[in-house]
Amino acid sequence: MERINHPEELAVWKNEILAERIPSKKKIVISSGTCGQASGSLQIIDAVNQELAKKGLKDHVEVKVTGCHGFCQLEPNLIVYPEEIFYKTLQPQDVPQIVEKSILGNEIVSSLVFEDLKTAQKAIKQNDIPFYKKQERLLTENNLKINPTEIEDYIALDGYQALANALFNMTSEAVIAEIETAGLRGRGGGGFPSGRKWEICRKVESNIKYIICNADEGDPGAYMDRSLLEGNPHSVIEGMIIGAYAIGAQEGYIYVRMEYPLAVQHVNLALEQARKFGFLGESILGSEFAFEIHLIEGAGAFVSGEETSLIASIEGRRAFPSQRPPFPAQEGLWGKPTNVNNVETWANVPLILRKGADWYAKIGTRRSKGTKIFSLVGKINNTGLVEVPMGITLREIVYDIGGGIQDNKKFKAIQTGGPSGGCIPAEKLDLPVDYDTLAKAGSIMGSGGMIIMDEDTCMVDVARYFLHFTQEESCGKCVPCRIGTKQLVEILNRITEGNGEEEDLEKMEDLSKTIKTGSLCGLGQTAPNPVLTTLQYFRKEYESHIKSKTCIALVCKGLIAYTIDPDKCVGCLLCLKSCPVDAISGERKEVHVIDQDLCIKCGACLDVCPPKINAVSKVTGRKMARILKNASGKRV
Amino acid sequence: MENILKEFERDQKELIHILHRVQEEFGYVSPPAISAIAKHLKISENEIYSVLTFYKAFSLEPRGKHIVTVCMGTACHVRGAPRLVDDASREMGVDVGQTTPDKHFTLETVNCLGCCAIGPVVVVDGKYHSYVKRMDSIIKEYSEGR
C-alpha cells in the first residue's frame, strides 16, 4: 500500500485488509506487553511457532502477538480463535497440547483454562472471567485485536477514519464542540475539561503552536498509559493529530518515560508507519493540514510529569516547573501556545469522534464521562488493568472485579492517585469513582493507580513511603516543597522508628497546610495528601506508634522484634543457617535464640521456619519490650 | 565522541538526547565528554552538569558489568521490595546507587517499572524477574566470572 491521499483511499485500504482475512481461520493471539514478556511470553511465542512449523500448520494458522490484555496476573496467556478459548499462565511445554487439541481439533484443554478460586467454576472465554465481566473496555479491548507493530490491524478497526472525518467534514470549532459535548476530562489526574483546554489554546493567536502527549507516567503503581502505548500506539497518535487540527498546531511531542522501553519502541515504529502512509507530515490524507510528531524519551525524573516541567525537559533543560499563569496554552514550549494532554485522554479522542459525543456522554456520571482505566494492584487477588465506566463503586472494583483481598486477609485501604492521592478506608468503599467524589474523600482520581492494602500494611509506613518518594523527587526549586517534604519525612521516619512524640501529628498537619498552599507546582501542592488522608482515616495507627510503640501491622522495623518460641522450636538449624548476620545461636535439636542486638530484622528466619513448627514470630508493643528487656537482662 | 555529536543539531533541545546516547555508548558521562558536548552545543559545562545530575538516567562514574535494579513502586513496596533492597545491598556490600569495587554489580532502584501485577520486580541488565522473594539466588546467577 502506498501513501493515502484521500479518505476514500483509506476506506478502500480497510476493505482490502478485511477481504484478506478469513473469520473462520484458526488464530492464536498471544499477549506480550512488558508484563507478558517479563512472565515468559516470548518463550510461548517461540514454542507456538515451532509447534506450528513442526505440524506443518504455519500457513493455516495466524499467530498474532499483541500488547497487554489487562489480566497481567495470568500472563503469559493466549487465546485461540474463532472459539475464543483463553489459556492462562502457560509454560512452553503446554503449547503442543493446545495445538493438538484446539488447533487441529476443536477441543479444550481444560487444565489450562481459567478457574475461579472461590467457586471452582471454569471460564472458557476471556469475557466469562469475573475479572472482565463488569468492565467496559472501550479503549483496552482493541489491545486484543492489534499487533502494535502493524498499522493494518489498526486500519481494520476503522483506524484514522475519525481523523479523515475531522479533516474533511468538520471545522476545528466543530471538533472541539464534539469533545466538549462528550464531556471528556483530562485523564492525567487533573480532570480539566479537555474541550475547554483546547479552545483556550485554539483562541490564542500565534503562527506556531505545539501539542504534547504526556506519557511520563511516573506515579508508582500506575501503568495504564504504558499499556495503551505498547498495545495500541496509533490510537494515541490519531488523537493527537485530531487535537492538532482542532487547535491549529504544526508540531507535537510524545514524552515517554525511559522506564518504558517497549512503549518507546512501539511508538517510534507507529510514527514511522503514520508518516509512510500520509497520516503525518505534509498534506495529511490529501488535505491542506500538515503536522509532525516527535518522540522524546524521558530521563528519570518524576517531576517531568508536571506540564511546565515537561516542557522544560523537552527544551533540553532541567525539569523545573514554572509559575502559572502564563499557562502553557498561552506560553508553553519555546514560549509558544502549547496544549498538553495525557495518553489516555488522547486515546479517547478518536473514539469520541467515531462514535459520537452523545453516545460517549451516556457513559459515566453527570460530571465524569466515559471510562477510566485503573491499574488494580497490591494485595488483591486479581491484579491487572481494569477499564470501568465512571461512577462504578470502589467496592465493585475491589470485590467483583478484583476478587477481594489476597489470602483472605482483611481490606484496610485503597490508595488512589499515587503520591498526590490518598488512602481511602473500608467505610468509604461504596463511593462512586469519579473526579469529584474522590476529591471530596481527600484523595484524587489521579492517573489511575489503585493500590489495595490489607491488614499487613502499615498506614504510617505507607505515608512515609510516599513522602520519601516526593521528597526525593522534589526538584528543589521552591522552599515549601523542598524543605517541607524533608521535614515531613523526618517526622515520619522518627515515628516509624519508635521515636515519635505526641506533638508530631499536629506538627505534620500544620506543615502539610503550608506545603499545599505554598508550593509552586502540583507535585508540592499534593505531596501532603498521603499524610493528611492517613491522619484523617487512620489516626489511631499513628497514635499507637507514638504512645504504645506498637505497629499493629508488624511492618515498622523500629517497633518490631523477631523471637523464637522455645516451646515450639525443634532445633532444626534452618533459621540459624539463613540468618545473614549470625544473630541466631543454638545447636541441632536445641532451642535457638535470637541475639536482639545483632538482629537486623530482615525476616529471613520467619520465612524459613516450617509452617508446621511455626516457632518464629514478629512481636510489637509490650511483647517486644518484654523480649528486649529479657535479652538485656541476660547480658547483665 | 565526535561521531556521536555529529548526529545531533547544535541546539540545547538535543542535550538530553546526546546524554542518553553517551550514557548508552560508554556507560557513563565522563568529564571530557561533558567538555565536548559543551563545545558542540555552545553552552557552559555547568549547564550540562546541572542537567546531567538532575536526571537519574545519567551517571558520572562508570557502572558495573551487571546493573541490578529493584523496583520501588507502591505495589512492589507493599509486597516486600524494601527488604530486597536491604538484602541486595548487604550481599553486594554497597549502597543503592553504588558499584562494587570489582565493578561487577551496580545496585539501583527505580520508582516504578509499571509491571505492578507481577511484583516485586527486579531487573538485571534489562531482564525482568517477577515475584522475587529473595535476592541471593539472583545475585548468584549473575556472579559468574566475579
Nearest to B54 among A217, A301, A314 (CB): A301
For chain A, give the percent of residues with pLDDT over 90.
93
**Mean pLDDT, range A586-592, rounded to an integer:** 94
Query: Does B10 touch chain A if contact means CB atoms closer than 8 Å?
Result: no
Nearest to B50 among A226, A318, A462 (CB): A318
Angle made by CA atoms A204, A207, A209, in degrees to the nearest 5: 65
How much is the ipTM here?
0.93
* Shortest alpha-carbon distance between residue A385 and chain B (Å): 9
For residue A478, pLDDT over 70 is answered with yes
Write down the domain spans for chain A. 13-131, 151-360, 371-457, 460-546, 559-635
Contact yes or no for A154/A13 (Cβ under 8 A): no
Q: Please tell me the distance from the alpha carbon of residue A276 to that of residue A263, in angstroms, as a whole number.
A: 20
Across the interface, do B54 and A318 touch by the CB < 8 Å criterion? Answer: yes
Between CA B120 and CA A24 the distance in angstroms is 41
Q: Which CATH class is domain A151-360?
A: alpha beta
Taking an 8 Å cut-off on Cβ atoms, the answer to whether B55 and A319 are in contact is yes
Cα–Cα distance, B79 to A533 (Å, whole number): 22
**At residue A633, does pLDDT exceed 80?**
no
User: Residue A636: its pLDDT value, please?
Assistant: 45
Quote the CA–CA distance of B22 and A524 in Å, as a whole number: 32
Whether B145 contacts chain A with CB within 8 A: no
Residue B55 sits at the chain A interface (C-beta within 8 Å)? yes
Smallest Cβ distance to B77: which of A73, A418, A465?
A465
> Cα(A91)–Cα(A70) distance, rounded to whole angstroms?
19
pLDDT (tens digit, 9 = 90+) per residue, A423-462?
Answer: 999 999 999 999 999 999 888 888 899 999 999 999 999 9
pLDDT tens string A247-292: 999 999 999 999 999 999 999 999 999 999 999 999 999 999 999 9
Task: Collect all residues with Cβ–Cβ distance below 8 Å to A313 and sequence separation of at least 6.
Answer: A255, A296, A298, A299, A301, A304, A319, B16
CA pair distance A26, A58, nearest whole angstrom? 11
Tell which CATH architecture fits domain A559-635: 2-Layer Sandwich (3.30)
Contact yes or no for A414/A453 (Cβ under 8 A): yes
Pairs of CB atoms within 8 A across A/B: 142
Q: What gap in Å lies between CA B104 and CA B62, rounded to an integer?
A: 11
Place of cell 498474532: A64
Q: What residues pair up with A112 in beta bridges, in sequence order?
A: none
Report the alpha-carbon distance of residue A597 to residue A290 in Å, rounded. 70
User: What are the helix and strand counts (H, E) for chain B?
Assistant: 7, 4
CA distance A180 to B143: 58
- A408: alpha, beta or left, given left = phi > 0 and alpha = psi -120 to 50? left
CATH topology for the A460-546 domain: de novo design (two linked rop proteins) (1.20.1440)
Give the right CATH number for A371-457 from 3.30.70.260, 3.40.190.80, 3.10.20.600, 1.10.10.10.
3.10.20.600
For A105, counting Cβ atoms within 10 Å of its Cβ (0-12 exposed, 13-18 middle, 19+ buried), the class is exposed
CA distance A377 to A415: 10
Higher-confidence position of A8 and A445 = A8
Q: Across the interface, do A314 and B12 touch by the CB < 8 Å criterion?
A: no
- Put simply, the answer to whether B55 touches A300 (Cβ < 8 Å) is yes
Separation between Cα atoms, residue A451 and residue A222, nearest integer Å? 9
Residues in chain B with pLDDT values less than 50: none
- Say which CATH architecture domain A13-131 belongs to: 3-Layer(aba) Sandwich (3.40)
Mean pLDDT value across residues A5-32: 95
Collect all residues of chain B within an 8 Å Cβ-Cβ radius of residue A319: 54-55
Average pLDDT over chain A reads: 95
Closest chain B residue to the Cα of A302, Cα to Cα: B111
Are the C-beta atoms of A494 and A504 separated by less than 8 Å? yes
pLDDT tier for residue A635 given thresholds of 50, 70 and 90: low
SS (H, E, C) A567-595: CCCCCCCHHHHHCCCCCEECCCCCCCEEC
Cα A102 from chain centroid (whole Å): 33
To the nearest whole Å, the CA of A364 is away from the closest chain B CA by 26
Average of pLDDT values for A459-484? 96
Q: Which CATH number fits domain B66-141: 3.40.30.10, 3.40.50.410, 3.40.710.10, 3.10.20.30?
A: 3.40.30.10
Q: Which amino acid is at A218?
A: G
Q: Quote the DSSP letter at residue A299.
A: -
- B56/A314 touch (CB, cutoff 8 Å), yes or no: no
Q: Tell me, what's the pLDDT at A51?
A: 97
- Kindly give the residue spans of alpha helices, DSSP state H, lying in A277-323: 307-314
Contact criterion met (CB < 8 Å) for B115 and A219:
no
Contact B55 A299 (CB under 8 A): yes
Indicate the domain borders of chain B. 2-54, 66-141
Output the pLDDT for position A634.
Answer: 63
Looking at CA atoms only, how far is residue B144 from chain A in angstroms? 21
Higher model confidence: residue A632 or residue A583? A583
Residue A104, CA atoms < 13 Å, CB-side half-sphere: 13
